[in-house]
Structure 1
Amino acid sequence: RYLIFFQYIGTKYGAVKVPPHQLEKKGVQDHLEDALRRLRPLNPVSLSISSRTDRGVHALSNSAHFDFQRKNDKPPFTEEILVEALNFHLKAEQIVTRAYRVPDDFHARFRALSRTYVYRIALGVSQPAQLPLGERDMCWNLRHRELDVEAMREAAAMLVGTHDFSSFRAVNSDMPFRNPVKTLDVASIQPGREIPFWELTFQSKSFLYKQVRRMTGALVAVGQGRISLTKLKDILESRDSLAYPHNVVAPARGLFLTRVDYRES
């Protein structure tokens, strides 16, 4: 069993497999499994991804595990050779950064200690052409230069800790099976670089569907004076996804999964 880390630009594809009728829009999982099949394992190829990012959300470091049995009693691939071989077969999509041999009971999703997301916001950008070419579709560009960052930090502090985050999740098919109580370890707001950027960082063992984009949208609305701190507290304490305001969710393009952490052992 191997654990691999990989990166990708979410505007090109999401993390997980796409339905068969959409194969012209392959997900990262499809590309990785195709590359694994080209290495001709004896066992069926099945990749378990730790973090299921939406299309449009980027990853600097997502992770997944899989089993791989070689033919003719050949020794297992070394970690370095596996990375090289996968990237060779991925061709233009050379996205695998690291690989590790792990115990047979290891699970990339359930063994993760924490996940860290960073949401990037550009201020004072009235036209996409004003952004550097490499930043387009990689941030949420807001026309106005002013955000009440101190109010946003005060609001972010309200979200830190263990809460029922039902108000900050979007409805999906997994909703009845996912515990809405999460412990948010970090919610910080720091200045970015180059043009006026702010970076919002969130860290937790796991997140609900679209939780980070909803928290970001709410914090920006606080910074713009559209939501008060009292209103944010009411939203959090209502524990109801319908209490979340309409048209406040941050777009996918500014969100990056930056870390999935495990125990060194």
Structure 2
Amino acid sequence: MKNCKARYLIFFQYLGSKYSGVMKTPQDRPVLGVQNYLENALQKLKLENEASLYISSRTDTGVHALCNSAHVDIQRTSGKPPFTGEVLTKALNLHLKPEPICVIGAYRVADTFHARYRALTRTYVYRLVTGVTHNQLPLMEKNLCWPLRDIELNVSAMQEAISMFLGTHNFSTFRALSSDTPFKSPVKTVLRAHLEPAQGSFAQNHFHRNLLFWELTFKSPSFLYRQVRRMTGAVVAIGQGRLSISQLQELLEVQDSLAYPQGTCAPPEGLFLTRVEYDDSDLLPDTQDG
């Protein structure tokens, strides 16, 4: 039987605290990327090819994902049909233990499919908690939110501020400079920008302190480098009275990354990539594993 490569779209989640980010790093580095562990798990499946992942959405050190995605080509040994999505998911999770990385689904896609360019939208949620320091957080929330000493924030001003990001804008001020900055258009369309109190979590309901969590949600086809963290930091600064609505408008209009106030960017720990959406027609019917 002729060897046959199959392309898969893989959805996966991870806690980003112990990784250099989602992207692959050289194996001799003391801290590796999530991609390193996923590709190591793939190689343990005894494939004919060296399986390389193509990640849809880059996340930094400390940033988490409830749902990131990637595509990969897999060629099994001679005579074996392609994995079903369910079998591939179970096999990868077996080899990912004990890392805080989990594959939540795998689907056959066309050989021309690309996880990054076929993605329709990406959704990020940033989690805040007020009235506590990092040392006062319950254990299950450490490195999973941004603790603020402030007991009260100007929520109405924050609501007005976050709504200013809706629509199509030049977000040059809200992107950090990186090696690919000159090659990416700063014009992005934000489809959703919303601030709301979070529903009661276990820690919120049972911890001895009065914890109040907030979630900032941003949805767009794509984002610039650190755009979500910079937008979040600006909204929080307005809630704390360190920045005004008029100053935020000026930041949008000046279109200069260097104009962004130093020390305002939100830390990575509270940021979660929660969803990467595709057209259902991109997913092919599963095959029977042999």
Question: Is residue 178 of structure 1 aligned with residue 184 of structure 2?
Answer: yes
Deviation of 1:58 (Å): 0.5
Q: Percent identity?
A: 60
> 1:199-210 residue pairs with structure 2 within 5 A?
199-210=215-226
The yes-or-no answer on 1:252 pairing with 2:268 is: yes
2:193 equivalent to 1:187: yes
Q: Which residue of 2 aligns with 1:60?
A: 66
Match of 1:196 among 186, 192, 212: 212
**Counterpart pick for 2:15 among 9, 16, 22:** 9
What per-residue deviation string (whole Å, max 9, x for no partner) do you get for residues 161-216 of structure 1? Answer: 00010000000001011111000011100101322011000000000000000000
Report the number of matched residues.
Answer: 263
How much does 1:128 deviate?
Answer: 2.6
Alignment map for 1:109-148 (pairs within 5 Å): 109-125=116-132, 127-148=133-154
Which residue of 140, 155, 161 corresponds with 1:149? 155
Unaligned stretches of 5+ residues in structure 2: 1-6, 205-210, 282-290
RMSD: 1.0
- TM-score normalised by L of structure 2: 0.89
Question: What SS does the corresponding residue of 1:213 show, helix, strand or coil?
Answer: helix
* Inter-partner Cα distance in structure 2 for 1:130 and 1:172: 34
Which stretch shows the higher mean deviation, 2-11 or 38-47?
Answer: 38-47
Report how far residue 41 of structure 1 moved.
1.6
Equivalent position amino acid for 1:98 in 2 = G
Which amino acid in 2 is paired with 1:45? A
Residues 35-81 of structure 1: CA deviation (Å, up to 9, x unaligned): 11111222222100111100100101110100001111310000100
**3-state SS, counterpart of residue 197 of structure 1:** strand
CA–CA distance in structure 2, aligned partners of residues 43 and 21 of structure 1:
22
Distance 1:244 1:25 in 2: 30
Aligned to 1:42: 48
| CA shift for structure 1 position 20 | 4.1
- Give the Å deviation of 1:230: 0.7
Q: Normalization by structure 1: what TM-score? A: 0.97
Q: Given the alignment, which residue of 75, 81, 105 partners 2:81?
A: 75
Query: How big is the shift at 1:130?
Result: 2.5
Please state if 1:100 is matched with 2:107.
yes
Divergent runs of 4+, >2 A: 127-130
**Following the alignment from structure 2 to structure 1, what is the Cα–Cα distance between the partners of residues 256 and 15?**
32
2: CA distance between counterparts of 1:21 and 1:99? 29
* SS in structure 1 of the partner of residue 117 of structure 2: coil
Structure exhibiting the larger radius of gyration computed from Cα positions:
2
Deviations 1:199-237 (A, max 9, x none): 000000000000000000000011111111111010011
Residue 141 of structure 1 deviates from its aligned partner by 0.3
3-state SS, counterpart of residue 62 of structure 1 = strand
Partner of residue 263, structure 1: 279
Matched, 1:221 2:232: no
1: CA distance between counterparts of 2:96 and 2:145? 27
CA distance in 2, matches of 1:75, 1:134: 42
Aligned to 2:4: none
Counterpart Cα distance in 2 of 1:156 and 1:3: 33
What is the distance in 1 between the residues matched to 2:94 and 2:244? 52
Unaligned runs of 5+ in 1: none
Residue 90 of structure 1: how far off its partner (Å): 1.2
